[in-house]
Amino acid sequence: MPKNSKLKIFLACSEYTPLAKTGGLADVSAALSFFFDSEGHDIRVLIPFYASIDLAGLEIEIVPGLQELTMTLGDRVFNYWIVRARSEGPGPDIYLLQCPELYGGDEIYSGPDEHLRFILLSRAAIEMCQQQAFAPDIFHCHDWHTALVPVYLKTLYSWDRMFSATKSVLTLHNIGYQGVFGASVLDDMGLSDSGGELDQEDLSHDRINFLKTGVIHADLLTTVSPTYAREILDPEYGMGLESYLSQRVESVVGILNGVDYAEWNPESDPLIPFTFSSRELSEKEKNKQALMEEMGLEYVFDRPLAGVVTRLTYQKGIDLMQHVLPDLLAARDLAVVVLGSGEEEYEQFFQWLQSEFPGRVGFYQGFNNQLAHRIEAGSDLFLMPSRYEPCGLNQMYSLRYGTVPVVRATGGLADSVQHFDPGSGLGTGVVFHDYDANGLRWALNTALDLYSNKNAWCRMVSNGMAKDYSWNEQGKIYIERFKRLIDS
């Protein structure tokens, strides 16, 4: 395929920033499709029309041929329709799949109809292509929610010659979530006659694994960092998929996520009180002061502030913080601000920590994008001691905001943060290796010691701010891989 030729890409996903977001998946699907669009590729995006989507600034258009549609899933018939959402400025065409019965609730995930929500998304994506006579070169699927598209193209829709040259790509953002259901959903999937395409061992144990099905059938598997691409071949990180991935090792490619610097740029960020660049770090200090006031913390000049913005889950290393933070806060002058929600045990821990260290620990329980920006801008350190981290975005946001990441060397954290060496002045953060309390304790103490060495600290901060993880480079790797796949 000629180097400059343009591709037809269909991207189906459960999340898309800013319409529907619970984590990094939303940022990546949006930034990647913007990149494809900006490069002149014909990209169409389909996401569910969740009741929670904020329509402000969007113009909703009826699309001929995509109204009054029905889909039979098992013994239920769903009425659905698809509209186009346009916003001002550049960007790809976003299509919203409306089916109030499935997407009318408050939640994006969970609930008894969860599998139906994403079976419908996957099949409606394929049928939308048919309705619009759009034969994609690439069907780009993301995580378990749309991981059934590859098997559908090979079974239910294999009769349609329109897809004969279509290649399917499944991007694994996090294999900790696989979409595992009882085998009774086979009927709902419409694959009762194609059970042979599914993993037989799973079926014999009365289960169906959506992500595994995608891993078996997609033409290309990508994941979101080179290190994670290697890690998931091992049982420790493979979450049961390691042998399936190892069998396809030639088709597993790690491409580090990029950052949308239009949204995450301290020089122009409208969500922070004081914009700043690496030449105006006094403005960063003002953000710190404002953030500490907002969070009810006592501002003391030269007291380092560590930020955390995360889903409070097993993956994120919160148990290490439980082991380390109470003693560290008792022993050293440090303040901590935490934004997140998730498992109750972790929420309770941060509530307790806040009450134990009033004025030095602030916890905001919930999801708050504005506060996430202000924490990036106002903190000195950013903690990500993850057990595993496919890519992670916050450490890359932190680098740009002059906030030193303290990370465990796993997945994309290992690929985007280099441990600082005061001797050579090289490096952008503090990196520890073993997943244990000693590792995190050492890393935090190292970071706090560096904080009191102003020359070293400034050097590390400016090294980080100079890093460029924009989508320009990463997006090109996707296109190159897509073209190689089409030519194969």
Residues that bind ligand ADP (CB under 6 A): 23-25, 27, 174, 309-311, 339-341, 367-369, 372, 391-394
Nearer to ligand ADP, 130 or 265 (CB): 265
Phi then psi for 50, rounded to 5 degrees?
Answer: -60, 150
Q: Give the shortest CB-394-to-ligand ADP separation in angstroms.
A: 4
Nearer to ligand ADP, 23 or 238 (CB): 23
Close Cβ partners of 166 (under 8 Å, ≥ 6 residues apart): 135, 136, 137, 138, 139, 153
The DSSP H or E segment spanning 225 is: none
Closest CA relative to residue 29, chosen from 153, 176, 167, 143: 143
Q: Give the shortest CB-38-to-ligand ADP separation in angstroms.
A: 21
Q: What distance in Å separates the CA atoms of residue 5 and residue 187, rounded to the nearest whole number?
A: 41
Q: Give the shortest CB-192-to-ligand ADP separation in angstroms.
A: 34
Helix (H, G, I), strand (E, B), or coil: what is residue 76?
Answer: strand
User: Cα torsion for 228, 229, 232, 237, to the nearest 10°?
Assistant: 0
Nearer to ligand ADP, 31 or 73 (CB): 31
Nearer to ligand ADP, 73 or 309 (CB): 309
Nearer to ligand ADP, 98 or 223 (CB): 223
Question: Tokens representing 217?
Answer: 């059938």
Q: What distance in Å separates the CA atoms of residue 270 and residue 373, rounded to the nearest whole number?
A: 9
Q: Give the shortest CB-11-to-ligand ADP separation in angstroms.
A: 17
- Preceding amide of 18 cis, omega within 30: yes
Q: Evaluate the CA torsion angle 37, 225, 154, 189 in order and state its sign.
A: negative
Q: Give the shortest CB-318-to-ligand ADP separation in angstroms.
A: 12
Closest CA relative to residue 368, chosen from 338, 407, 348, 403: 338
Nearer to ligand ADP, 223 or 310 (CB): 310
Nearer to ligand ADP, 22 or 184 (CB): 22
- DSSP-derived pairing of the beta strands 404-408 and 381-384: parallel
Q: Give the shortest CB-343-to-ligand ADP separation in angstroms.
A: 13
The DSSP H or E segment spanning 36 is: helix 24-38
Closest residue to ligand ADP using C-beta atoms: 24
Phi then psi for 113, rounded to 5 degrees?
Answer: -95, 15
- DSSP-derived pairing of the beta strands 93-98 and 76-87: antiparallel
Q: Give the shortest CB-54-to-ligand ADP separation in angstroms.
A: 15
Q: Give the shortest CB-25-to-ligand ADP separation in angstroms.
A: 6
Nearer to ligand ADP, 212 or 374 (CB): 374
